[in-house]
Structure 1
Amino acid sequence: MDLMIYILLTFVAGAIPFVEYMLAIPFGIIAGVPTIPATIIGFAGNLTTVILLIWFVDKVRDALRKKKKQKVTASDSVSDAPFTVYPNGEQLQNGVEAIIDDHVNKTTGTLKSNRAQKAKKLWVKYGMPGLSFLGTVLLSSHLTALMACSFGGNRGYITIWMVISLAIWSLIVGVAVHFGMDAFFR
């Protein structure tokens, strides 16, 4: 019975942001759950909440797009021009600019804040694979998924790379804790 409680606690710990697989797997192994089940359960707990977060953010983003699109459609009758031309030469069809991220300055076509510029550069440089592998271990898998969604990533693509990243890092943590515990208790 105690083993079932530790398995459940390992799953719940994996689901908690900033605790995640990094602490859930070692907790499970130290509590007495065998290494392979502890690794799988910690991974599953973390993955469950990450996928729910990706799904939730995607649904919210779709709802906001629909709301902006309805607002733009009502104001389209005022504008007869088919395109809006920005000073940087970029042409956007009327209505599309309502969907552009709020971080974009519409008069210059550039990103407003320095942090937004740096984050976008990292996204462009490393893409989703780099963001998922680096962000998952350096920050948090939940925060990484949220950043990927906010940068406009595809929900399916984000999910695939987060699954791959979490599986690899969970495996690394599980093996490291297993062999570390084995060496520590010899």
Structure 2
Amino acid sequence: MDYLTYFILVFLGAAVPFIEYMTVIPLGIIIGLPLVPTVFLGFLGNLVTVLLVIILVDKIREVLRKRKKQHTRLPDTDGESTSNPEEANTTEMNWDESFTSKRRRRAQKLWDKYGLPGLTVIGTGLLSSHLTALMACTFGGNRTYVFIWMTISLALWSIILGIAFQLGMDAIFS
């Protein structure tokens, strides 16, 4: 494959939630792509979908709310549904909720302690940029400021990650 194909894959891979820049930038550097275009396209691909999350945050929250309601209404043995999760076997759902609420609590602590800049910079490095943008909007952040701080954060983390991997690859193979 030529560089153009790889760069398109870097851009598209960075746009996928939970894969993001954190995966595609190191992979691009490992396969030998040039540092600057790899970091730039990883950053840009992630930024495009983060912008979509910020714009569509209300619709995303509604979909998640509906999905949560569907999971709590599980079919009973006689075909009727129950809205009481204690009556049904919800082991998987409880684990899922605790995992999500654990992330939410961690993000809320960052928000309370450092505000929007702290949540976006620290959250993007520790969690996921899409999840961080969603949380920042949910916690009451102005969408314009969320976008500005997410852009700064993604640029910062993309550059740090790209340089760190490039130096690491140079140290290993030189």
TM-score, with structure 1 as normaliser: 0.66
Give 1:13 shift: 1.1
Quote the residue 1:172 is aligned against.
Answer: 160
Quote the residue 2:28 is aligned against.
Answer: 28
Q: CA RMSD in A?
A: 2.3
Give 1:33 shift: 1.7
Quote the residue 1:45 is aligned against.
Answer: 45
Greater Rg by CA = 1
Quote the residue 2:132 is aligned against.
Answer: 144
CA contact (8 A) 1:6 1:31 kept: no
Aligned partner of residue 29 in structure 1, secondary structure: helix
Give 1:152 shift: 1.4
CA contact (8 A) 2:104 2:135 kept: no
C-alpha separation between the residues in 1 aligned to 2:19 and 2:26? 11
Tell me, which stretches of 5 or more residues in structure 1 are unaligned?
62-112
Partner amino acid for 1:3? Answer: Y
Of 114, 117, 126, the match for 1:129: 117
CA contact (8 A) 2:107 2:123 kept: no
Aligned residue pairs total 135
Tell me, which stretches of 5 or more residues in structure 2 are unaligned?
62-100
TM-score, with structure 2 as normaliser: 0.70
Aligned partner of residue 18 in structure 1, secondary structure: coil
Aligned partner of residue 141 in structure 2, secondary structure: coil
1:77-134 per-residue CA deviation (whole Å, 9 max, x = no partner) reads xxxxxxxxxxxxxxxxxxxxxxxxxxxxxxxxxxxx9997775453222101110111
C-alpha separation between the residues in 2 aligned to 1:32 and 1:115? 34
Percentage of matched positions with identical amino acids: 60
Greater share of helix = 2
